[in-house]
Structure 1
């Protein structure tokens, strides 16, 4: 009983202090140590070095290339002006009349192509502010539109997205980032069109009440409107990411003899455990080379861009890895077996429901989609895979449900991306979080429910 209380109090502390702005690199080991002390009295140093740091290091080893290459690619797209070109073109084509849809689609194209959501938020906000002002749409809806395009259908639903949330399950279920493509597209459309319907209805209601953009002290980032690549050239690196990812994950790597992976030197792993990650690495490297070779004239200092992109990957991956280390410590406690059995016993004939609840709960507690997903699969992934095998459930369905689940309750108020987005736009939780809650949490959870129902009835497709 005391051990269970320790886990609950530790998780509550993690959520509370994360919301208060504590850095998770410090917070995660402190909350882990608190749980260990309360549950079993130690040993603290052995737990820290042998469990916490070991799990943290394992996560970094597995996913650092994706974080680093993704950050470099996003920085190159921003510094070359490609992100701005894509955003401007979509906005100009749709016009002020479709301001919300234009901002959402611009964010969606960029994030589906592998550009970091933080880069996208900085690139899109000045454009969104001008467009919303022209259209008379309240500024308080900008975070909802950016969040809808950046944190939902392109992060967890659409097949092949290079988001880390879509890459993590490949290691546990032997799938690729294109797992359950039909279900992913259905979920993505529910998120996109449901979110647009909500935001547009909110805009119409506000305008009917006489509310327009509003008077604001703009918190616009510095923005240079210099020479930029044309739309087709700007889109080429994004097409490269999607195309190479599909080519290598679906055809090239599955057709190559990877038997040498069974050797101890290479970790004695199954090819399916690495193909998804390898394909993303190749795709991002190809896209980076495309920018460097074809857009060199638009980059003031490629070396500076590469350096800044690389450094920009360090904090995100170590934040997530620290949360994974925290999860490993919690999983090592004897009381966790009670929690694990309780979660797994939910809907015993349908492990997909239990998996969705576990990932959503942990993503909500940690305020991180990737952190919650990693903790859930590190501690329960093999259990769900074994149960799915017994019941004849396609691992691709597990992959898509796990990924979709990571993008639900992660968007609670203490989520780092939510806080960053509100900071960038100069708005507050009070003015804008309600719409973020609907488009980033409520509608994605409804999409998840639809996928579980369809998957249960028709299997993976």
Structure 2
């Protein structure tokens, strides 16, 4: 029983101290070893647990996912430095006009994140355009963070089939799937999240207008006008995003997934094609898109080397943070007391989809990280979920999609790093804007998850 208490205390401390600003790089190993000590006392092999469990899990996750983190970050940096991200956003905003300012911002974010650009790059690129549109339409500035959240860490991150975001890549090695897993469920979830979120935000804007509230006075705002003439054309800007999506599909379904591809040599590496084809497809798609974006924008890139370096270096903190959380999860998994917690979590429901949805959401909420929470949940119980699914005749594709949609719920609680960063970029406070962020990135995704679970139960894939 003491071991269970130790695990619970370590989880609570992980959530609280991360919210207080202490890096997970320190918290994860310290709290994992604390839980180990609580469970075994003087018999706990602290150093062996650290080097042989925590660090091996840390290294294993980094080995598996670092290429996607790095290439995704470089791609985002190139799209930002070339002006491609701003060009896409400006074109969409121009076509829709000020009457649909909120939809223009949300769709701009959606296109960019669906193409593989990180949420942080999207927020920085879209914010100045959002300010201009919201001012012109006289919509309260406090609604900008929620509108950006709809497209930047909503359905394009978790639900839309083919998304190259890391949240859609993590389940692939566990379930032998690719980025386009359970496409119908993904499209249903995406449509619900986007539609209901926009209805919510539009209603909020209408209420503000009736109350006489406009954009507001924000003296500290420092947004410079964008020189549109220096931006690349929309066609040149959108091609890299199309390349990521199309090539990822072709590689995963027709090249590595084709019957003619001889993967027998993988036996020498002690792996099989289903474990790696999804990652290989995404890596190659991102690499080709990066090369195209660089070559087609050489005149606009001031320093190709610097852009690539900054993107690569920027990916390090993200991969190391998530690897630390996976290391933490595997230490917890190794403890004898975890069997009690595991049985309780698996016992929540005999349906593996419901059990998976709850565990991913809870751990994403505790860690304040969609990718971290999902990585911990799947590393702890992914094998059990796939066994339960096979016994119930449920496709691994459905497990993949439920996991990704689930990670985008409780992860966006107020202590989430992306939420804090977004509010900082927009110069808004939690008090001013979190209610809308919480609605579009927590409440609506959770309600959508329930609907998707019902759809999955009747055989929709």
- Class of the TM-score when normalised by the shorter of the 2 chains: over 0.9
Alpha-carbon distance between aligned partners in 2 of 1:67 and 1:438, rounded to the nearest angstrom: 28
Residue 156 of structure 2 corresponds to residue 151 of structure 1: no
Given that 1:220 and 1:425 are in contact with CA atoms closer than 8 Å, whether structure 2 keeps it comes out as: no
Name the counterpart of 1:27: 27
1:300-449 paired onto structure 2 within 5 Å: 300-348=302-350, 350-449=351-450
Following TM superposition, by how much is the alpha carbon of 1:243 offset from its aligned partner in structure 2, in angstroms? 0.7
Following TM superposition, by how much is the alpha carbon of 1:223 offset from its aligned partner in structure 2, in angstroms? 7.4
Name the counterpart of 1:235: 238
Alpha-carbon distance between aligned partners in 2 of 1:220 and 1:170, rounded to the nearest angstrom: 42
Give the secondary structure class of the aligned counterpart of 2:257: helix
Residue 7 of structure 2 corresponds to residue 4 of structure 1: no
1:146-185 paired onto structure 2 within 5 Å: 146-185=148-187
Given that 2:184 and 2:460 are in contact with CA atoms closer than 8 Å, whether structure 1 keeps it comes out as: no
Unaligned runs of 5+ in 2: none
- Cα distance change on mapping 1:231 and 1:6 into 2, 3 Å: same
Following TM superposition, by how much is the alpha carbon of 1:292 offset from its aligned partner in structure 2, in angstroms? 1.3
Alpha-carbon distance between aligned partners in 2 of 1:351 and 1:269, rounded to the nearest angstrom: 26
Alpha-carbon distance between aligned partners in 2 of 1:371 and 1:193, rounded to the nearest angstrom: 28
Given that 2:185 and 2:460 are in contact with CA atoms closer than 8 Å, whether structure 1 keeps it comes out as: no
Name the counterpart of 1:44: 46
Q: How many residues end up aligned between the 2 structures?
A: 456
Following TM superposition, by how much is the alpha carbon of 1:207 offset from its aligned partner in structure 2, in angstroms? 1.1
Alpha-carbon distance between aligned partners in 1 of 2:103 and 2:24, rounded to the nearest angstrom: 34
Residues 77-131 of structure 1: per-residue CA shift (max 9 Å, x gap) = 0000000000111111111111110100000000000111100000001111111
Residues 307-344 of structure 1: per-residue CA shift (max 9 Å, x gap) = 11111100111011111111111111111100101111
Q: 1:245 aligns with which of 222, 230, 248?
A: 248
Alpha-carbon distance between aligned partners in 1 of 2:291 and 2:101, rounded to the nearest angstrom: 33
Following TM superposition, by how much is the alpha carbon of 1:459 offset from its aligned partner in structure 2, in angstroms? 4.0
Alpha-carbon distance between aligned partners in 2 of 1:146 and 1:25, rounded to the nearest angstrom: 28
Given that 2:361 and 2:409 are in contact with CA atoms closer than 8 Å, whether structure 1 keeps it comes out as: yes
Residue 232 of structure 2 corresponds to residue 213 of structure 1: no
Alpha-carbon distance between aligned partners in 2 of 1:118 and 1:324, rounded to the nearest angstrom: 23
Give the secondary structure class of the aligned counterpart of 2:451: helix
Alpha-carbon distance between aligned partners in 2 of 1:241 and 1:428, rounded to the nearest angstrom: 35
Unaligned runs of 5+ in 1: none
Segments ≥4 residues shifted beyond 3 Å? 217-224
Given that 1:148 and 1:195 are in contact with CA atoms closer than 8 Å, whether structure 2 keeps it comes out as: yes
TM-score, normalized by length of structure 1?
Answer: 0.97
Give the secondary structure class of the aligned counterpart of 2:161: coil
Following TM superposition, by how much is the alpha carbon of 1:22 offset from its aligned partner in structure 2, in angstroms? 1.1
Given that 1:122 and 1:221 are in contact with CA atoms closer than 8 Å, whether structure 2 keeps it comes out as: no
Following TM superposition, by how much is the alpha carbon of 1:217 offset from its aligned partner in structure 2, in angstroms? 3.3
1:52-201 paired onto structure 2 within 5 Å: 52-201=54-203
Give the secondary structure class of the aligned counterpart of 2:230: coil
- Cα distance change on mapping 1:212 and 1:395 into 2, 3 Å: same
TM-score, normalized by length of structure 2?
Answer: 0.97
Alpha-carbon distance between aligned partners in 1 of 2:205 and 2:460, rounded to the nearest angstrom: 38
Alpha-carbon distance between aligned partners in 2 of 1:36 and 1:372, rounded to the nearest angstrom: 20
Following TM superposition, by how much is the alpha carbon of 1:451 offset from its aligned partner in structure 2, in angstroms? 1.0
Give the secondary structure class of the aligned counterpart of 1:298: coil
Name the counterpart of 1:294: 296
Given that 1:55 and 1:328 are in contact with CA atoms closer than 8 Å, whether structure 2 keeps it comes out as: yes
Residue 259 of structure 2 corresponds to residue 257 of structure 1: no
Alpha-carbon distance between aligned partners in 1 of 2:312 and 2:161, rounded to the nearest angstrom: 26
Given that 2:81 and 2:307 are in contact with CA atoms closer than 8 Å, whether structure 1 keeps it comes out as: yes
Alpha-carbon distance between aligned partners in 1 of 2:26 and 2:450, rounded to the nearest angstrom: 35
Given that 1:393 and 1:459 are in contact with CA atoms closer than 8 Å, whether structure 2 keeps it comes out as: no
Given that 2:363 and 2:377 are in contact with CA atoms closer than 8 Å, whether structure 1 keeps it comes out as: yes
